[in-house]
Every structure is written in C-alpha cells, then in structure tokens.
Amino acid sequence: MMDFSEIFVGGQWRAGGGGQADSINPADGSLVARHGVASVADVAEAVEAGQRAVADPEWRTMLPHVRARLLHRIGDAIEAQAEHIAALQTADTGKTLTETRALALSAAGTFRYTAAALETLDDALTTPRGPYLTMSVHEPIGIVGAITPWNSPIASDAQKVAPALAAGNAVLLKPAEWTSLVSLKFARIVEEAGLPRGLLSVLPGPGATVGDAIVRHPGVGKISFTGGTVTGKRIAAIAGGKLMPVSLELGGKSPTIVLPDADIDHAIAGILFGIFSSTGQSCIAGSRLFVHRSIYPDFMARLVAATQALRVGRGTDGSTQVGPLVAFAHRDKVAAHVEAAKAAGATLLCGGQAPQGEGYDKGAFYLPTILADVDHGAAICQEEVFGPVLVAIAFDDEEHLIAQANNSVYGLACGIWTRDFAKAYALARRIAAGTVWINTYKQFSISTPFGGVRESGLGREKGREGIRAYMQQKSLYWGLNDQPLPWATPKTAL
C-alpha cells in the first residue's frame, strides 16, 4: 500500500500542518490508510509556490503544443495506472470497480481531450473601426483553487486540473475529506509525468478551514467548485467580495419523464442506471420519476421488480451493481430522508432499509428504494437525498408535467423517454436543466459542456470553451496611422 502520510505542497512532499486523518472503507468499516491533512499555513505556502511557478519563464512562455504534450503524458500515466487508481477509489468510496475503472479512464481521456483542444484554441483578430488592428488574446488567471466532492474523485480532479493547467495556471486542489487518497495518488502521477514544481498542490483537509482558506486567499484568482449548493453559495459570497470568478457545479433533483409511447424496456434500464448506479450518489441522479398516468400501474410494477433484482454488494465483487454508500454517516442521512418521507405519508414500494445478512452487517449498505403517493411539494420531492432513493409521480398532461418537473430550486439534468422526437424536443426546451438526455441517461462526453441552471450551478465545464473558463481575455490595439492622432494636432485655420 502506498504511503499517504505526506501531502503535496508547492511541489514538495511533506507532513501537512493539519495532522492526519483516516480513510475508512465503507464496505466493511476497515481502515484503508491514514493520510496527511493540510493547514491554513500550507495553503499560504502553496499559493506562494504557485505564484513563483506561474511567473517562471519556462512555464509562462511554454507554447501551447508543448504544454499539450505534458497533458498527454499525464493522461497516459493515469491510464497506465488505471487499475491501481480504480482499486484505491473502490476501497475509499465503496463504488464498484466497473465504475471506478470507467472514472480513471475518463480522467485520462479528459487530459488527452484538453491537450488536443489546447492546440486548436485560437486568439482572434477582431474587426477594427479605425486605423488600427485589434487582437483578442487570452492569458492565465494565475492561481486556481479546485475544490472537489467525494463521489467521483479522480474524474472531478481531472475535469478541473486539466483545463486549469492547459490555460497556464497553477492549481491548489482540495479533495473531499472522505476521499483524499486518490487525489494524493493523482499528485504522484502528475509529478512523475514532469509537471514543473509548484504548479500543483494537493491539500486534503476540512472544507471549513483548508477549503475556506483557499477561497479567501487574496492570491487565488478563481475557484472551480463541485459540491453541495449550500457550500457553493457560501463560496460565491466570498468570491463576490473579492470580485473573483467562480465555476459552481452543485446539487440536483433531476426529473425523468416517461411518456405513454416510450420503449418500456429502454426506459426501465435507463431509469435504474440513472438513479441506482453509483448507489445514487450522483449530482445528476434521476431522482424524480414522472410516468404518464395511463401506463403508471404496469410501469411501476415492472420497475419495482427490476429494482428488487439489482445486486447489492461490495464494489470489489464483479457482479455487484449497487455498492455501499460512501460513509456510515451518509447512509444514516439517506435512511433518515426515507423515514421522514414515510412519516409524511409516502408509500414505500421497495427497499427502505439496509440489506440483511452476512457481508452486509459491517458495511454502509442501503437497498435501492422507491417511494410513491407523495405530493410534489413534499420534502422527498424537493430535497437532494444523494442516495439510492427514487420518488415516483403520475402525471396527466404536458402542462401538469412541466409545472411539476420545473417546481424545484435545482436545474441540473433531465431524462425524457418517448418515441416521439418532436414531443421530446418541445419538452426538452421547456425543462429547466443544463443537460437533457432523450432516450438515454447519464451519458457523458468531455467534449460537451456541462453545468446547471438555478441552484444547480454557475458556469460550464468541459468542451473547448472549458479551457477559456480558466483564462482572462485581453484586447490589444495596434495603431497603423501614418499621421499622429488628430486630437493633439493643431488645427489649421480654414
């Protein structure tokens, strides 16, 4: 097992000023590793090292195609170690190996895509309105704080670090408290791939101290945050005081809609994947299901049977579809949401408890759960559970559906199941969401922008424009006059 006792501050491995913390395997409660924790002083040192690194002419003047080569090397190194990263992430988060392998490979793909995109980013000659030439160019911001959640660590790290480095910045990465191991491993990979010292620091620690210090530090020029809406708003308020740009990828309570003409087999498979993969711990989980009343009883009977057939178990078991939740405390929070919904009158169609029997007793497991017969204003329809809990609602007509689907503070994603593409298009355009999947769900491409509306976020990540989000634009005017500017020139009498 790798040694995680040291953290990565400005290119140096050393003990963090915040002591040590334990990473616990949620499949059985065992200790995965102790790891170092950063302090506020470590943050300050990481910023100083980052400032030196971005000012170094080697990095400052490095041409995009050379920086791209470095990003390719990081991508290759992640892929070469994908199995190790996946095993580590499964131990740390409980996610299945199938999921963590896919996340590691997607992180490698993110670095490669970003490298390719970087080589094609153009500055522009803009249209002049006088005897001058105008250019619009883009420059790095300087120091970027990347703050990530625990649900998909290596993929969220890559999604922020790759474009921030591509844009020429230094990055302070703060992983979530429950999942710091993968980010420390990521730092080793990046270092070995040859990133100049000081351009990446990995600072595990509590959000309230280490995360807050990164956000508040005057030397940090941008925060890219993925996490809960409450935290995101707090960060945005501090950023407002500094007039600092922020990208916020926040929570969701995404609707999935089944119209009467849908292909039912496809819809059921998509809904199961949308809510129960990653044990529901996904910002884009399709957690509110709307089914047309004419097909509701039969559809729900099939969905419940398919849900009960899902295999719950350890992430290391190849046949597992639903692993444990990330932590015991989080499992208890998910269970409390379900109990509160039942107390408020919801009908439990399946799940609603931890699985019983050997292999389950020591882990943070919870059965895939479906609730029904709730008013759409109920807490279970409005609050993000971030666990394997689906709430089902019948709808009568399109207006009724849209009113309910859009009755949420969130606006992250939406799924629509129908064979009628014109209807799907019209619906997709009326739902408040950053991403709409039609006859599919939870598919992701690094080339397609991602983000939310309303309280699901601010700004977009991914896509070619994703690199621009870590740059600042500058305009250059080049005078072409063959005479001095006329204002200062004495006028000759007429």
| Residues of the shown chain interacting with ligand NAD in the complex, contacts defined by CB under 6 A | 147-151, 174, 176-177, 207-208, 211-212, 215, 226-228, 231, 234-235, 249-252, 283, 384, 386, 412, 452, 457
CA dihedral 62, 64, 66, 69 (to 10 degrees): 140
Q: How distant, in Å, are the alpha carbons of 196, 322, 430 from that of 403?
A: 52, 32, 10
Nearer to ligand NAD by C-beta: 45 or 249?
Answer: 249
Nearer to ligand NAD, 252 or 363 (CB): 252
- Pick 85 or 268: Cβ nearer ligand NAD: 85
Q: State the Cα–Cα distance between residues 415 and 427, nearest whole angstrom.
A: 10
Shortest Cβ 480–ligand NAD spacing (Å) = 47
Of 249, 384, 455, 461, the active-site residue reads 249
Question: CA 83 to CA 316: how far, in whole Å?
Answer: 12
Q: What is the closest distance, in whole angstroms, from the C-beta atom of residue 148 to ligand NAD in the complex?
A: 6
Question: How far apart are CB 391 and ligand NAD at their closest, in Å?
Answer: 16
Phi-psi region of 114 (alpha: psi -120 to 50; beta: other; left: phi over 0): alpha
Q: Which of 270, 275, 274, 230 is nearest to 248 (CA)?
A: 230
Is the CB of 50 or the CB of 207 nearer to ligand NAD? 207
> Alpha helix (H) ranges present in 253-327?
264-276, 296-308
Task: Give the shortest CB-175-to-ligand NAD separation in angstroms.
Answer: 6
Burial 291-317, CB ≥16 within 10 A → b, else e: bbeebbeebbeebbebbeebebbbbee
By beta carbon distance, the residue nearest ligand NAD is 207
C-beta of 45 vs 212, nearer to ligand NAD: 212
Quote the least distance from Cβ 422 to ligand NAD, whole Å.
30
What count of other Cβ atoms lies within 10 Å of the Cβ of residue 41?
A: 13
> Is residue 283 annotated as part of the catalytic site, yes or no?
yes
350 flagged as catalytic: no
Shortest reach from residue 408's CB to ligand NAD, in Å? 13
Catalytic residue among 45, 191, 283, 414: 283
β-strand 255-258 against 246-249: which pairing, if any?
Answer: unpaired
457/432 Cα distance (integer angstroms): 12
Q: What b-and-e string marks burial along 149-170, b requiring 16 or more CB atoms within 10 Å of the CB?
A: bbbbbbbbbbbbbbbbbbbbbb
Complex with ligand NAD: residue 201 or 418, whichever CB lies closer:
201
Active-site annotation, residues: 249, 283
